[in-house]
Structure 1
Amino acid sequence: MKKILAIAMFSVLLSAESCTKDSDFLNVPPKSVVTTDVAFSDPALVLSAIGDLYNRQVDFSSLDDGWQTFTDFGESFPSDNGSYFIVQNRSWGYGSWAIWDYGYIRDLNLFIDNVTASTKLLATDKSRFLAEGRFLRANYYFELVKRMGGVPLITKSITYDNSGSVSNLLTPRAKESDVYDFVISEAEAIKGSLPADLVDKSRASQAAALAMEARAALYAGSIAKYGSTTPQVSLPGGEVGIPASMAAGYYTKALTAAKAIISGSVGNYGLYQVLPNLSDNFAAVFLDKSSVNHESIWVEDFKALAGKTHAFTTNDQPYSVSDEATDAGRLDPSLNLVQSFEKLDNTFAPIPTTDASGNPIYYTDQQGPFAGRDARLAGTVMLPHFFWKTAFIDIWGGYLLPNGNIISSDDATHLATLPGTSAQVQVVGKDGPTPTGEPLRSQTGFYIRKYLDPATGSGRRGRGSDVNFIRYRYAEVLLNAAEASAELGDFDNASIYINQVRARAGLTTPITLTAGNYFDRMVHERRAELSFEGHILFDMKRWRIATKVWDGNTESLADLTSNIGSATKRNTQPWGLYPYKFYNPGGANDGKWVFKEVLPSNVTGVLNFRIGNYYSQINDGIISANPKIIRQPNQ
C-alpha cells in the first residue's frame, strides 16, 4: 500500500509541474493542497487517500509495531534488558490494549462521504472505493469492540455548528451487540462490490469481507455464550455483554460467511501445501508472496523497493548467524508453547527429559526430544541445532558432569577447562542460554521461526524485511467454521473442517469432535495454528477463560508438565528447556545431550489477568469530554 501511495502522489506532483509558460506559475495551486472536488475526481488521487487509510489500520500484534507485541501471555520470553517487566510483577493495567481513535473514524467517514458525492469517478471505481472505505471502517470498529466493548457508533461525519454547544456531538456507547451487528452487516452490504480472488492481498476483497464477518460473528457468539460464566462482566445497558439467546444466531452467521470462502465462490483460496517438508511448508505460509500462496486473504504488505520494511528479523534472528551482532534473539518461544504441540498419535505429552524412573534421557541428536510431533512446532519455533541461512544455530547451556555439576560461562567467548584437561574450550552455546541470562540470546532454548526472513541481509538495520503480516488467512477460516459448527452441535462437519488443518501439519489420523472434547480441542488447535498472530488474548477473553489461564499464581514444574491440552491449563510463567552436553570421557553417554526444564532467572513475576481486564479502560479524559460515556465494569 505504501507503493500505491507513492505512485499516486508522484502523479500529483508531475501534473502540478506541467506548466506551458513561465507566467502560469502564478495560477498553480500549492503542491501540498488538493481540493476535495479534484481529489475525488481522479482514481489515482482517491487511491492515494485510501492508501493512507489502509496504512492506519491497527493490529494487536504486527511486524512493524515491534517485537514486544509478541512477547507475552506465557508463550514467549523477552530476551532484552529493557523488557523484563513483561515477566516481572505482571498485572496488566486496566488500560492495557485500549484504542480510541475517532480521528481515524472521522477520516474514514469523510472518505466515504466524498466518494459518495463524487460525480467524476467511473461507477466501477466509485463502487469499489466505497466498499473499501466501509471495509476499513468496519474492521476498525471490530478492533474497537473486541477491546472496549460497545463504543459510540458514528457512521456519518459530524460538523460543529458554531452554536457554542457541543451537546449534539456527544454520542453514547452503543450496545456491544450493536457494534458487532454493524461489522457483520457492513460485510454483507459491501462484499458484492469488492473483487474476488484479488492478486494484491493488501486491498480488500470479497473473501476479506467474509473473513472479517466470520471472525466477528464468532467472537460475538462466544461472548454471548460464555459471558454467562462471568455475569459481573456486563453493564445493564448492554454496552458490555451480549445476551446468551443471541449466541446461536451469531454462530450461524459465522459459519455461513466461512462456508462462502471454503466453497470457492469468492475466489481460489486454500491451505498452502507446496513444500514436501511439512515444517518448512508451514513456515513458508508467512514468507511466500507469490501467486502459489492461496492461503493469504488480507495482509499488511511490505515492499522493500517502496521503502516499507520492518525490523522483526533484525530483532529476533539467532545471535550466532545474525546480520547485526547487537540485534538478535529478543523473542524466545517458551517451553509452555513448545510442549503444547501434540504428538503424531494425537496425544499430549511433555517433552521427554527423564525416563519412568526419573533418570536423564541421553539423546544423540539435539532434535531428538522433539521428534514425532506436530510439524507446526518446527515451522513456528527454531529448535536447537536448527539450520538458519548459513549455519546451524548454537544452543546449549554448558557441560553436565556425572556428579550433576555444570560447567558453563556467561558468554561463548569466555572459555573454561574441563576436568582432566588443560585446554580452554567453549562451554556454552553462542546462542545461549547462559546461567546469567545474557540478553539477545535465547533464554528459553528456542528462537522464533514464524515470520523470520531467510533472505540475505533481511536482518540488517536500515534494510529490514518485507515479509507480510497476514491479517486473515484460510486456515483460520476453516477453524472458525469448525468452532461455529461445533457450537451449533454439528460435530461431524466440525471434525471435517478441523482435520483439514491438522492433516496439513502431519496429523493424519482424524480426530472426532464431540460435545465432551470440542472445546479443549478448538482452544488447542487455534494455539498451535495461530500462535504469534495476535489471537491469543482475544480468544482467551471471548471464551472468558483468561482469568483461569493467567490466574496470578506461580507455575511449578508439575503445573507445566500436567494437563497439557486442557483449555484452562495455567500459563503464567514462560519456562525454558536447556540442552547440556554430557561430559564423561570413556562413558557410554559421553557427548550426548541431556535436557533440563528451567525457569529463566529473570522470570520473577506471574501473569495476573483480573476480572476488570476483560474490557480495556476508557480513560477519564474521554469520559470527561463526553459524560454520556459509561465506565467499564469492575474498574
Structure 2
Amino acid sequence: MRFQKYIAVLAVTTISLTLDSCKESLDIPAQGALSDQVLATRSGVDALLNGAYAALDGQFNNGGALNLAGTNAWEASPSNWVYGSIAGGDAHKGSDGSDQPAIDAIAKFTSDASNGFFNSKWRVLYEGVNRTNSVLRVLAQTTEVTEAERASFAAQARFLRGHYYFELKKMWNNVPWIDETVETAAASYVSNTEDIWPKIEADFKFAMDNLPATQQDVGRVNKWAAATYLAKTHLYQKEYAEAKPLFDQVINQGVTSNGLKYALVTKFHDNFNAATENNSESVFQIQMVANDGTNTIANANQGDMLNFPYGNSPFRCCGFFQPSHDLANSYRTDETGLPIVESYNNQPVKNDQGVASNQPFTTDAGPLDPRIDWTIGRRGIPYLDWGNHPGADWVRSPGQTYAGPYSPKKNIYMQATQDLYADQHSWAPGTAINWNVIRFADVLLMAAEVEAQLGNLEQAQTYVNQVRARAANPVNYVYTYANPANPLAGYTNTPAANYKISVYPAGAFSQMGKEGALRAIYFERKLELAMEGHRFFDLVRWDIAEPTLNAYFNYEGTLTTDVRGGRFIRGKNEYFPIPQRQLDLSRSGGNSVLSQNPGYN
C-alpha cells in the first residue's frame, strides 16, 4: 500500500476518533475520546504523525468537496493557485464573473479581512500545526519507542510544523506561534506580535539534524528536504551567507527520500505526470492518490478540482485558473533563444481571443521557449494527448473576454492513463498528480539567487543554465500528432511551434552585473515555476511586487475585464489581512489579542 493511501485511510480515521472537537478560532482541538495516555504507544504516535502528513493536502473532513465544517476545498489548496499564482499575475481566476467572486477581489487586491478565503486558509494551516503538536505532546509521554524512533518522529513532526508555519508566515507575516507547550484553552489568546522566523528555522534545523537521508516510505520527508527548507527560510530573510552552504550541500550531496541523487529529470513534464512522480527532482512533494476506495476525491488533489478546461472539454468542470496573456508573452525568445526580460509584452504571442473554434486560426510563428506548451493550453497546440486545444470551445467566458483564451496544463492528467490517475468520484475531477512544494529546479534557481546576491555571478549563471539546458533538450518540444483524429496513436517529429531556446553565453551574467543577473534569475523563476503557486511570494520578497503587479494590471486590463481596477499598494498588499473571524474569536477583555496587518484597519 502506498504511503499516501495509508495516511488517507488510517490517519484520518484515527484523527476523527481522537481529536473530535475544535476551538474554532485556531482549530486547536481539545482532547477527544481517547486520552493522550492511551495514544502514548508507538502505533498511536505513528497514527498521529500520519494524520499530520494527511493534513498537507488541506482536505480532511467529510471526504466531499468541503472540509473543516463548510470550507470549500479550493479555498485552502496547498498549490496556492489563488494566493500565489493568481495574485502574482500568472493566471486569471477564470470561469465567469459570477462564480467564486471572492477570488477576483484577491486577484485585484481589493479584499478586506472579511473575505472568507483567508479564514479558510488560516484554519487549514493551523489544523496542520495542531496535528504536529499532538504528535510531539503524545511522543513526550511514550516509553514504547527507541531513542532513534523518538528522534525520527519528532523530526518529521517538526518538519511538517515548519512547513505549515512557513506557509502562514509568507501569507500573513504576523501570526501566533502555537507549539506543543501551549494548552488548548490558551491557544486562542496567543498574540501575533513575535517574529516567528527563528522558530521556523529551529524546526527545520532539528529536522535536518535528526532525519535520515532516505525513508522506507517515499512520502515521508528526509534530511535533505529539511536542509532545503532551512536554506529557503534563510533566503526569505535575505540571509544569503547562511543559505549558501546549505544549498551547496543539497545540490552536491542531496538525495530524495527514495534514494535518488537530486537532478533535473530529462523531461520537464515528468514533474507533472502521476506516472513519473517521486523522481530525482522531487525534494518535497505532497502525495496524491486517485481511486483510493473512499468514493471521494478527498485525497486526489481536491484543492485544484476547479482547474480544468470547461465547455466541450472532456474534463466536465470548471474553467478556472486560466493563464494570463502576460505569462504567455513571457515565453517569447529573441533571435538567439534568450528570454526578452524587459519588453516581452511588446511582442505578444498570437492567440485566438475573440475567434470562435469553428473559425480559422493560425498559431504564432515566432520563436518561443518550449515550456510555454507544457504550462499553457493554447489553441492549435496538442493539449498533452487529448488532441489539439480547440480554443473558445474549452473556455467558459463567451468570447474569452473575461479571463482570456488560455487553459492550465501542469495539473492535467493524461488521456492514456486516466483510468489509473484521474478520479471521477465527484462533480469535478481529481488526480493522482503529486503536488511539488519544492522541486530541484526551484532549488537551483534559489541557489542562483543566493550566489548572485553574494557576487558569485558565474556560479549563478551555471545554475540558471542547467535549468535552461533541460528546457532546450528537444525531448521537451511538443510535437504534432501523427493522426490528429486519434491523438493516442502518437506523434510526428514535427514540433508544434517554432521553439527556440538557448543557455546564456559564457560571461553573460558578469556583463550584466549583479542587478542584471538578478533580473534574469527572477525571470527564469517565472518561466520555470509558472502556475506552481510561487509568483506572488517571490515578487514580495524581491520587493518588486508594486511595480510588477501594477504594470500587469495596466497591460492585462486592456485585454480582459476581470482584473480592471486592480491595484497593489506598497506597505499593505505584501501580506493578506488577518481574517476578521480570527480577530473576533481572539477577543479578551473586549479587545482582539491578534493585531491586524498594516493597511487593513
Same fold (TM over 0.5): yes
Residues of 2 paired with 1:264 and 1:294: CA distance? 13
1:377 aligns with 2:401: no
Residues of 2 paired with 1:501 and 1:354: CA distance? 23
Which of 452, 456, 474 is 1:490 aligned to?
Answer: 456
Per-residue deviation, 1:152: 3.6
C-alpha contact (below 8 Å) 2:378/2:406 kept by paired residues: yes
Q: 1:309-340 CA distances to partner (integer Å, 9 max, x unpaired)? A: 13577633344663354x24322211100111
Per-residue deviation, 1:120: 0.6
After superposition, residues 160-309 of structure 1 pair within 5 angstroms as: 171-173=190-192, 175-176=194-195, 179-198=196-215, 200-221=217-238, 250-267=239-256, 268-274=260-266, 281-290=267-276, 293-306=279-292, 307=294, 308-309=299-300
Which of 592, 597, 600 is 1:632 aligned to?
Answer: 597
Bigger Cα displacement from structure 2, 336-345 vs 260-269: 260-269
Residues of 2 paired with 1:90 and 1:257: CA distance? 37
What amino acid is aligned across from residue 418 of structure 2 in structure 1? T
Q: Which has the larger radius of gyration?
A: 1
Q: 1:2-55 CA distances to partner (integer Å, 9 max, x unpaired)? A: 522356469999xxxxxxxxxxxxxxxxxx944433423133x32221121122
Q: 1:294 to 1:71 in 2, by over 3 A?
A: same
What amino acid is aligned across from residue 514 of structure 2 in structure 1? A
Q: 1:474-523 CA distances to partner (integer Å, 9 max, x unpaired)? A: 11111111111111111121111121112111143325322230221122
1:346 aligns with 2:335: no
Instruction: Report the counterpart of residue 177 of structure 2 in structure 1.
Output: 153
C-alpha contact (below 8 Å) 1:321/1:390 kept by paired residues: no
Per-residue deviation, 1:251: 0.9
Instruction: Report the counterpart of residue 37 of structure 1 in structure 2.
Output: 37
Q: 1:448 to 1:374 in 2, by over 3 A?
A: same
Q: 1:182-235 CA distances to partner (integer Å, 9 max, x unpaired)? A: 2223222221321214464432111211121121111111xxxxxxxxxxxxxx
Aligned length: 490
Instruction: Report the counterpart of residue 131 of structure 1 in structure 2.
Output: 155
- Describe the SS at the equivalent of 2:109: coil
Q: 1:213 to 1:58 in 2, by over 3 A?
A: farther
C-alpha contact (below 8 Å) 1:106/1:157 kept by paired residues: no
Normalising by structure 2, report the TM-score. Answer: 0.71
What amino acid is aligned across from residue 323 of structure 1 in structure 2? P
Q: 1:549 to 1:38 in 2, by over 3 A?
A: same
Point out where structure 2 has 5 or more consecutive residues left out of the alignment.
16-31, 59-73, 351-359, 473-500
Bigger Cα displacement from structure 2, 3-12 vs 130-139: 3-12
Bigger Cα displacement from structure 2, 138-147 vs 468-477: 138-147
- Describe the SS at the equivalent of 1:131: helix
What amino acid is aligned across from residue 504 of structure 2 in structure 1? P
After superposition, residues 210-609 of structure 1 pair within 5 angstroms as: 210-221=227-238, 250-267=239-256, 268-274=260-266, 281-290=267-276, 293-306=279-292, 307=294, 308-311=299-302, 315-319=306-310, 322-325=313-316, 327-343=317-333, 345-348=337-340, 349-350=344-345, 352=347, 366-369=362-365, 371-388=366-383, 389-395=385-391, 429-431=392-394, 436-437=399-400, 443-454=403-414, 455-456=417-418, 458=422, 460=424, 462=426, 464-506=430-472, 507-510=501-504, 512-513=508-509, 514-551=513-550, 570-572=551-553, 575=556, 599-609=559-569
Q: 1:446 to 1:112 in 2, by over 3 A?
A: same
Residues of 2 paired with 1:141 and 1:518: CA distance? 31
Q: 1:604 to 1:495 in 2, by over 3 A?
A: closer
Q: 1:6 to 1:150 in 2, by over 3 A?
A: closer
Q: 1:558-613 CA distances to partner (integer Å, 9 max, x unpaired)? A: xxxxxxxxxxxx1116749xxxxxxxxxxxxxxxxxxxxx7134554324345222
Per-residue deviation, 1:629: 4.7
1:5 aligns with 2:29: no
- Describe the SS at the equivalent of 2:436: strand
Residues of 2 paired with 1:153 and 1:608: CA distance? 28
Bigger Cα displacement from structure 2, 514-523 vs 125-134: 514-523
Per-residue deviation, 1:156: 3.8
Q: 1:143-171 CA distances to partner (integer Å, 9 max, x unpaired)? A: 2222332444343423489xxxx7x9954
- Describe the SS at the equivalent of 1:501: helix
C-alpha contact (below 8 Å) 1:297/1:472 kept by paired residues: yes
Residues of 1 paired with 2:584 and 2:173: CA distance? 18
Instruction: Report the counterpart of residue 572 of structure 2 in structure 1.
Output: 612
- Describe the SS at the equivalent of 1:492: helix
Instruction: Report the counterpart of residue 29 of structure 2 in structure 1.
Output: none
C-alpha contact (below 8 Å) 2:587/2:593 kept by paired residues: no
Per-residue deviation, 1:122: 2.8
Per-residue deviation, 1:127: 1.7
C-alpha contact (below 8 Å) 2:586/2:594 kept by paired residues: yes
Q: 1:380-412 CA distances to partner (integer Å, 9 max, x unpaired)? A: 1122212233422212xxxxxxxxxxxxxxxxx
Per-residue deviation, 1:630: 4.6
Instruction: Report the counterpart of residue 164 of structure 2 in structure 1.
Output: 140
Q: 1:191 to 1:311 in 2, by over 3 A?
A: closer
What amino acid is aligned across from residue 336 of structure 1 in structure 2? D
Point out where structure 1 has 5 or more consecutive residues left out of the alignment.
14-31, 222-249, 275-280, 356-363, 396-428, 552-569, 577-597
Per-residue deviation, 1:628: 5.9
What amino acid is aligned across from residue 611 of structure 1 in structure 2? G
Instruction: Report the counterpart of residue 497 of structure 2 in structure 1.
Output: none
Instruction: Report the counterpart of residue 402 of structure 1 in structure 2.
Output: none
- Describe the SS at the equivalent of 2:247: helix
What amino acid is aligned across from residue 114 of structure 1 in structure 2? V
Q: 1:367 to 1:311 in 2, by over 3 A?
A: farther
C-alpha contact (below 8 Å) 1:287/1:453 kept by paired residues: yes
Q: 1:512-540 CA distances to partner (integer Å, 9 max, x unpaired)? A: 32223022112211111112222112112
Per-residue deviation, 1:264: 2.0
Residues of 2 paired with 1:133 and 1:85: CA distance? 33
Normalising by structure 1, report the TM-score. Answer: 0.68
Residues of 2 paired with 1:340 and 1:573: CA distance? 16
Per-residue deviation, 1:378: 1.1
C-alpha contact (below 8 Å) 1:148/1:617 kept by paired residues: yes
Per-residue deviation, 1:121: 1.4
Cα-Cα RMSD: 3.7
What amino acid is aligned across from residue 382 of structure 1 in structure 2? G
Bigger Cα displacement from structure 2, 380-389 vs 1-10: 1-10
- Describe the SS at the equivalent of 1:332: strand
Q: 1:340 to 1:285 in 2, by over 3 A?
A: same
Per-residue deviation, 1:436: 4.3
Residues of 2 paired with 1:12 and 1:58: CA distance? 17
What amino acid is aligned across from residue 535 of structure 2 in structure 1? I
C-alpha contact (below 8 Å) 1:433/1:445 kept by paired residues: no
What amino acid is aligned across from residue 130 of structure 1 in structure 2? A
Q: 1:330 to 1:105 in 2, by over 3 A?
A: closer
Residues of 1 paired with 2:468 and 2:408: CA distance? 21
C-alpha contact (below 8 Å) 2:553/2:564 kept by paired residues: no
Instruction: Report the counterpart of residue 277 of structure 1 in structure 2.
Output: none
Residues of 2 paired with 1:519 and 1:197: CA distance? 34
Instruction: Report the counterpart of residue 70 of structure 2 in structure 1.
Output: none
Residues of 1 paired with 2:188 and 2:326: CA distance? 49
